[in-house]
Structure 1
Amino acid sequence: MSLTTYWLEHAWLGTHVEPGVALEVTGDGRIGGLRTGVDAPPPGAEILRGLTLPGLANAHSHAFHRALRGTVQIGSGTFWTWRELMYEIAQNLTPDSYFTLARAVYAEMALAGITNVGEFHYVHHAPGGTPYADPNAMGEALIEAAAAAGIRITLLDTAYLSSGFGEAPNTHQQRFSDGTADAWAERVSSLKPRGHALIGAAVHSVRAVPADQLATVARWAEERRTALHVHLSEQTAENDACRAAHGRTPTQLLADHGVLGPRTTGVHNTHLTDADIALLGGTGTGTCMCPTTERDLADGIGPATRLQRAGSPLSLGSDSHAVIDLLEEARAMELNERLRSRTRGHWTANALLTAATGDGHAALGLADAGRLEEGALADFTTVALDSVRTAGPLPRLGAETAVFAATAADVRHTVVGGRHVVRDGHHTLVEDVPSALAESIAALRS
């Protein structure tokens, strides 16, 4: 039996924008029916004015990096100097402080239209590497934070065992490490999925997991048929070190140890050879682009067009949270490619929204989200078409308006499992998100 009917003034249905759509939500939080050509709201319907999209999927997040916003942009430097500042914040995290920060960060995501986050989680233990009484206390804090903020999470529990090729973890990294991949697998196996949360796996990078232990992580994910993510060729220094240690690129090393495949997503995939691109595409390995972080850290522009043509599905992430805005990530992917190629129109607005919705959810192991159709999860978000950024274009061009003009500030509603999490631009579960962010970040710096 339907519990709620939503009337969507305009809805993006994957290929086009449809005016006047009635969407029914069933008791289990799924779309029970979808009717087009409904010119006026049915009696008692929730009215969503603007353009309604499937919920956005943030396929790559490090929640605690949000505490770095506005500080790491000072002065010059590289990814490696940025990393030292990141370590300082990581050292101050506890299960309680991480819950408080992540709840606020995930609430910010909901305000940006994000209904599902892939949390690439590697801060597992206390400083020095001592496990908490509950070895998964930090991961549980993130799962609870997502529930408190009203969004879904795929916890990508991350194996992080070494500082570099043949190097033990440094002082900061000791709390990331389980010692061996087998110990990592034993710990993560006690994490259980629940209604709003899936448990996935991640290889932090080829420099952080010894080659002879990569297969253990891959096998764990394969046996559970869950998502497996990996930072891949984000930096040329990583490529050079991998060639020196193993005589091959990181992509080739991952392929040799069974890490690549259709449930695997490489994050960044920035500095690749032609052979790397062919391997990723040929195995159906996904690519998660994080353009706002990649440009913030001066990482470079990844070959997203070539990867997609080769067969690698594209998703998007906000990574270090320089901003949290999946519409900006989608826009940036296209605009970065325009700058590099000096030509326009590499992806349509529909294709970019697909990366931000359906393909992003699929990369996180949630195949039944990211579409406005019967049977899918009732997760969707509405973007205003009458703000100073979006007013003017014809509504039928709403996809183009959303991608090339709108920002997270234009999100008016976010619905997860049929429940209003953001209504009229206000979070319904976290009363004052800016204050929650400010207070939780200040606590980490005190």
Structure 2
Amino acid sequence: MTLHAKTALLPDGWARDVRLVLRAGRIDSVATGTPPQPGDHRAGILIPGLPNLHSHAFQRGFSGLTEQRGPTCDSFWTWREMMYRFALSLTPEAMQAIAALAYAEMLEAGFTRVGEFHYLHHAPDGRAYDNPAEMSARIFAAAEDTGISLTHLPVFYAHGGFGPKPAGEGQRRFLHTPDRFADLVQACDAMARPQDRIGLAPHSLRAATMDQITALAQAFPNRPFHIHIAEQLQEVEDCVAFTGQRPVEYLLTHAPVSADWCLIHATHLTDAEVQGIAATQAVAGLCPITEANLGDGIFPAEPFLAAGGRFGLGTDSNVQITAAGEARMLEYSQRLHHRARNVCADTGSTGARLFHGAASGGAHALAAPAPQITPGAPADLVALHDLMALDMADDRLLDRWIFGTDLTVADVWAHGAHLVQGGRHIHRDRIRDLAAAACRALI
């Protein structure tokens, strides 16, 4: 197919009258200064699709249902109990239906690839399904149904806390031995489409010992390797009590952290830890809306970016699914903390700094090609509609999309398929109805 954009963001900057030929899921050619031809699909503003580097798709099913305060102070840990109750009730069919809704909404938001940090492996009683990869298969089916590209990150989870402590009843669907987990990774390799990638994820320092983490890194080299870390102060305190070191300090000291790694959240850092992560070129996986919703804290973005740190953005609990909103929340959290404006920018556009950082860091963390509108790149494209019809071709467009209300996602192509049209996924009604029925049965 052919696509003509009035304005497009190319690797060397913004260009006018850009005509693309898409073929076999990739961009075949790009011409600038070219008028539209009969049969071209017309777009106003065209940008590359963004990667969503961290999702727990099933949590979309209870979005907005944990906002009532109990008799004691609510926290991440009280929220986790609600999450466990929901997780223990999910059937494979409900998992697929809810994941498909989350993925359709991600595409509608401008995400064209998702990193699925997947730890819901077994039946509600904790036993393996006849197909031990049944729940991962449901994730692949949801990605296939919606058309989003997938980096699947099966999670290794063995313990309930530092010590290691035995896992609790709420965690029984998550647990694996190292050997059975290796079998799961290999089964996921066999299910992947050509555009998909398979990594792995020890859940956290609470759920896997350092020996297990390093053994996994050695057994599966050169893959995306993600881990939750330093999200909550209690986790920091528990790690110090058990190891004598803070979580990131302990990880950097004892694990082979490299550019293949993605440290999810990394909220509570010392200056030395900030410098240490940046030096490894590991990606900081930031999920600002979820981190705000759970009361995690504020990531130290200003010193991390100044040290050359790389970051990507994720939707995590999927309480809201918005690419622009995650970038906006990251910047706004910094403004509240520093009582300043345009904190994440170096000079110039804050929107451009956030967009390009999230695109580059997120793609690297998911072992995906860099999002670019260039020949040979995957045809992962987002068309924005400007309600004000302002005649712009510069980074103010990214500022207005992220921080304003006048630019909205109109169309999205993922791997060349025109999946979002007029702001809606082409299968939205069917996907929504299946997810709604699953949620009604669960809640």
Structure 1 length as normaliser, TM-score? Answer: 0.92
- Report the secondary structure of 2:429's partner residue: coil
In 2, the alpha carbon distance for the partners of 1:15 and 1:336 equals 30
User: For each residue in 1:349-406, what CA deviation from the matched residue of structure 2 results, as whole angstroms up to 9, or x when unmatched?
Assistant: 212111332321221110x2411111110101112111xxx66584532121112114
What is the deviation of 1:111?
1.3
The residue correspondences of 1:418-433 to structure 2 (distance < 5 A) are 418-433=416-431
The residue correspondences of 1:22-421 to structure 2 (distance < 5 A) are 22-26=19-23, 28-38=24-34, 40-49=35-44, 51-75=45-69, 77-165=74-162, 166-178=164-176, 180-192=177-189, 193-222=192-221, 225-345=222-342, 346-347=344-345, 348-366=350-368, 368-386=369-387, 394-396=392-394, 397-406=396-405, 410-421=408-419
**Which AA in structure 1 matches 2:172?**
Q
The more displaced of 74-83 and 161-170 is: 74-83
The more displaced of 156-165 and 68-77 is: 68-77
User: For each residue in 1:88-133, what CA deviation from the matched residue of structure 2 results, as whole angstroms up to 9, or x when unmatched?
Assistant: 1100112222111111111111111211000000011112321111
Aligned residues: 431
What is the deviation of 1:440?
2.6
**Residues 426 and 363 of structure 1: CA distance in aligned 2, closer, same or farther (over 3 Å):** same
- Report the secondary structure of 2:65's partner residue: coil
User: For each residue in 1:274-309, what CA deviation from the matched residue of structure 2 results, as whole angstroms up to 9, or x when unmatched?
Assistant: 221122111111101111011111111011222223
**Residues 140 and 259 of structure 1: CA distance in aligned 2, closer, same or farther (over 3 Å):** farther
Checking the alignment, whether the CA contact within 8 Å between 2:229 and 2:266 is kept in structure 1 is yes
User: For each residue in 1:123-159, what CA deviation from the matched residue of structure 2 results, as whole angstroms up to 9, or x when unmatched?
Assistant: 1111232111111110111011011011011111111
In 2, the alpha carbon distance for the partners of 1:189 and 1:79 equals 33
Identical counterparts, % of pairs:
35
- Report the secondary structure of 1:157's partner residue: strand
**Which AA in structure 1 matches 2:359?**
T
In 1, the alpha carbon distance for the partners of 2:31 and 2:405 equals 26
The more displaced of 348-357 and 285-294 is: 348-357
**Which AA in structure 1 matches 2:41?**
E
Checking the alignment, whether the CA contact within 8 Å between 1:57 and 1:356 is kept in structure 2 is yes
**Which AA in structure 2 matches 1:77?**
D
**Residues 259 and 320 of structure 1: CA distance in aligned 2, closer, same or farther (over 3 Å):** farther
**Which AA in structure 1 matches 2:167?**
P
Structure 2 length as normaliser, TM-score? Answer: 0.93
Checking the alignment, whether the CA contact within 8 Å between 1:182 and 1:216 is kept in structure 2 is no
Structure 1 runs (4+) deviating above 6 angstroms are none
Checking the alignment, whether the CA contact within 8 Å between 1:358 and 1:369 is kept in structure 2 is yes
**Residues 355 and 74 of structure 1: CA distance in aligned 2, closer, same or farther (over 3 Å):** farther
RMSD: 1.8
What is the deviation of 1:253?
2.3
In 1, the alpha carbon distance for the partners of 2:363 and 2:441 equals 32
**Residues 393 and 437 of structure 1: CA distance in aligned 2, closer, same or farther (over 3 Å):** farther
**Residues 150 and 377 of structure 1: CA distance in aligned 2, closer, same or farther (over 3 Å):** same
Checking the alignment, whether the CA contact within 8 Å between 1:33 and 1:374 is kept in structure 2 is yes
**Which AA in structure 1 matches 2:31?**
R
- Report the secondary structure of 1:218's partner residue: helix
Checking the alignment, whether the CA contact within 8 Å between 2:43 and 2:384 is kept in structure 1 is no
